[in-house]
Amino acid sequence: MKKFDRCIRYTILAVLSIGIRQRNWGAVVNAIVAIVGTYLPEIVEKRADMELLPWQQTYARMAMAAHSVGMIGPYEDTWWWDHLTHTHSATLLAGAVHVLSRRRGKDPRLRVLTAVGCAGVLWEIVEYAVHRTAARFDLEPILVPYGKRDTVLDLCFDAVGALLVVAFGDSLLENLVPQRDQPTRDEQARRGSDDS
């Protein structure tokens, strides 16, 4: 996995290089953010005192690479690329919310859906604002909205990512929740009714 993780970083560095050569400042900024993002798994492990499995680290890094690569063509040339990256990114946020909820003994389902939905709407607003601000100052935007249909599809694929974590989070992320903090199904049901 370490070699694959290095390949992910090299891919992002290649995007950075291409972005500089083509004067594609959106790709450059996104590649820089993506490189920094590839170090988040280690930061999370140290800060939260948990150990991610190798596939979990790689999965998080792959989201950075997919977004970065998308900036040099696939977002515009490949109809499903944006759907893939929105679903992938949504699973990362949903996974974090799921783990935090489980560690606090709470039912994660509603929290996951709410967090991803709110973050998705906020992202779309930021994307629009960045684009409008760049246009106002005659600069190349680092984020590009593609219209109302694209916004709705983005939010739908964010929801797909959230639902995947609701469905599979307990089995795929159990290593991140200490056993003593995982409530039994009866406790989950009671807490779920208490949260309502």
As a whole number, mean pLDDT of residues 24-53 equals: 93
* CA distance to 48, 65, 81, 141, 156, per residue, from 30 (Å): 26, 10, 16, 11, 23
Instruction: State the CB neighbour count (10 A cutoff) for residue 196.
Output: 6
As a whole number, mean pLDDT of residues 52-74 equals: 96
With vertex at residue 38, the alpha carbon angle to CA 124 and CA 31, rounded to the nearest 5 degrees, is 60
The pLDDT assigned to 181 comes to: 46
Statement: residue 66 has pLDDT above 70: yes
Instruction: Identify the residue whose tokens are 């993780």.
Output: 5
The pLDDT assigned to 191 comes to: 67
Rounded to whole angstroms, how far apart are CA atoms 158 and 116?
7
Statement: residue 183 has pLDDT above 70: no
- The per-residue pLDDT for range 143-180, each reduced to its tens digit, is 777 789 999 999 999 999 999 999 999 999 999 998 76
Statement: residue 196 has pLDDT above 60: no
Amino acid residing at 190: R
> Could you tell me the pLDDT band of residue 87, with boundaries at 50, 70 and 90?
very high
As a whole number, mean pLDDT of residues 56-67 equals: 96
> Could you tell me the pLDDT band of residue 194, with boundaries at 50, 70 and 90?
low
- DSSP-assigned letter for residue 179: G
* CA distance to 56, 68, 111, per residue, from 172 (Å): 9, 26, 18
Length of the chain: 196
Give the H or E element holding residue 114. Answer: helix 109-136
* Contacts with 195 (C-beta within 8 Å, 6 or more apart), sequence order: 106, 107, 110
Give the chain's count of helices (H) and strands (E). Answer: 9, 0
As a whole number, mean pLDDT of residues 50-79 equals: 95
What's the predicted TM-score (pTM) here? 0.86
The pLDDT assigned to 96 comes to: 96
Identify the CA nearest to 102 among candidates 185, 158, 196.
Answer: 185
- The per-residue pLDDT for range 89-140, each reduced to its tens digit, is 999 999 999 999 999 999 999 999 999 999 999 999 999 999 889 888 988 7
